[in-house]
Amino acid sequence: MTGRLTALEAAQRIADGSLTSEALVRACLDRIGEREPVVQAWQHLDMDAALNMARHVDRFGSGPLKGIPIGVKDIIDTADMPTGYGSPLYETFRPPRDAACVALARQAGASVLGKTVTTEFAYFQPGKTRNPRDPGRTPGGSSSGSAAAVADGMVPLAFGTQTAGSIIRPASFCGCVGYKPTFGLIDRTGVRPFAESLDTVGFFASTVQDAAFFASAIAGRPDLHFTDEVFRLRIGLTRTHAWEAAEPATATALDEAAARLRATGLEVREVALPERWRGLLDAQKTIMAFEAARSHAPEMLTASDRLSVKLRELLEAGALIAPEDYDAAKALVAESRAGFSDVLDGLDVLLTPSAPGEAPEGLEATGDPVFNRMWTALGVPCISVPALTGPSGMPIGVQVVGRWGDDRRALAASAAIEQVVLSM
């Protein structure tokens, strides 16, 4: 039962003494014991160590996240657990220290329950994780285990990372909240790089409030954690230049969410993105491939035969991209970033698809980040809010996009949208 408390509720109960971290962790482990054979969200989990850690935190812990167990995507270094980056090349790797975000979580009182499954180097080659709502479907990726574990109630909070759509897409597919902050909000030291201009550390939670609570504790920014902020939301509905990729389920979810928001009297206005922004999708791909070819030069040089075909093809393609094309892609991103506020003129946030549709069937692929690449390139904050259910009964999220650095407003707006959409 405690496993179904929100992280915020659990933290409050641990703080007032009506709940122990040990009991909370035990509830998580019970849920994991029951569900892990199907979901396979965890790359590394030591139940005894987790309980010992919880007891230790009950005695000596402090901080806003005191006693809250978290999952850590296995692309992020942990000193006390193996860190495999989803690659056979790092199967035996034990980093000398925690990543900065993990240390900051521990400093805030959290304890690391275990490492969650990542795709290979957070690219497209899937790990073992299945969608908790339907084990025949992908959980999405690359933060597959974190999304599945949180959505399935195995752990209240988890870290993810996003370079294309690795937080928003799996959150939508699994049915939890995913939050990719403004680029640079969370330090990346100890997070395996894929593409430096894009890689962003973010969060999974079961509510927007929890995601904000988690992020505010890690970033040391109490302001991020709005408390029942009420404001007259002005929302821009944008179908983006990628709309042809939207399946009927996503189109319906977006329309339905907009209708519900309008029904409560909120302003929802259709927004057409600038024609120039059509190039952002390809610009993101160019930047990602070009930078990945460089960041993975060590693996390509010494062990290319132990990389997946998918990844190797990307790295080979990236190495052939002309520097001028990369520079042009970066220039388009910079120009679009500078014009972002004009596009949002008079609006608080944009509402747009999280993913093309329900989680695709099969486990061989993790789905298409076509509705994420552009926003990741722009570096603006994105939140996927579980909205509706598709024709197959699978969850479908809607994505809330805010202004650069205005994560607080994007989160507060997402919470309002969550409330309206879920309450009807």
Footprint on this chain of a second copy (rule: CB under 8 A): 79, 89-90, 93, 96-100, 102-104, 106-107, 184, 187-190, 193, 196-197, 219-221, 223, 291, 294-302, 319, 323, 327, 338, 405
The CB-of-104 to a second copy minimum distance in angstroms stands at 5
- H or E element that contains 174: helix 168-174
- 142 as an active site residue: the answer is yes
Q: With respect to a second copy, which residue has the nearer C-beta, 98 or 358?
A: 98
Identify any residues that bridge with 268 across adjacent strands, giving them in sequence order: 235
The CB-of-28 to a second copy minimum distance in angstroms stands at 23
Q: Which residue has the tokens 């698809």?
A: 353
Q: With respect to a second copy, which residue has the nearer C-beta, 245 or 319?
A: 319
Q: Active-site residue among 166, 216, 336, 414? A: 166
Q: With respect to a second copy, which residue has the nearer C-beta, 96 or 393?
A: 96
* Residue 280: closest CA among 344, 343, 328, 347: 328
CB distance 44 to 86 below 8 Å: no
Neighbours of 228 (CB within 10 A): 7
Q: Active-site residue among 21, 66, 73, 308? A: 73
DSSP string, 23-83: HHHHHHHHHHHHHHHHH--EEEE-HHHHHHHHHHHHHH--STTTT-EEEEETTB--SSS--
Tell me how far apart the alpha carbons of residues 120 and 122 are, in angstroms, rounded to a whole number: 5
Q: Which letter does DSSP use for residue 349 in this model?
A: E
The CB-of-82 to a second copy minimum distance in angstroms stands at 12
Q: With respect to a second copy, which residue has the nearer C-beta, 299 or 418?
A: 299
The CB-of-276 to a second copy minimum distance in angstroms stands at 18
Tokens of 323: 């520097």
- 216 as an active site residue: the answer is no
Q: Active-site residue among 21, 87, 111, 142? A: 142
Q: With respect to a second copy, which residue has the nearer C-beta, 191 or 257?
A: 191
CB distance 201 to 182 below 8 Å: no
Q: C-alpha distances in angstroms, 36 versus 131, 178, 396? A: 11, 21, 23
The CB-of-210 to a second copy minimum distance in angstroms stands at 21
Q: Which residue has the tokens 């409030």?
A: 209
- 180 as an active site residue: the answer is no
Tell me how far apart the alpha carbons of residues 420 and 264 are, in angstroms, rounded to a whole number: 8
The CB-of-364 to a second copy minimum distance in angstroms stands at 28
Q: With respect to a second copy, which residue has the nearer C-beta, 93 or 231?
A: 93
The CB-of-109 to a second copy minimum distance in angstroms stands at 12
Q: With respect to a second copy, which residue has the nearer C-beta, 176 or 219?
A: 219
Tell me how far apart the alpha carbons of residues 64 and 307 are, in angstroms, rounded to a whole number: 40
Q: Exposed, middle or buried, 49 (CB in 10 Å: 0-12/13-18/19+)?
A: middle
* Active site amino acids: 73, 142, 166
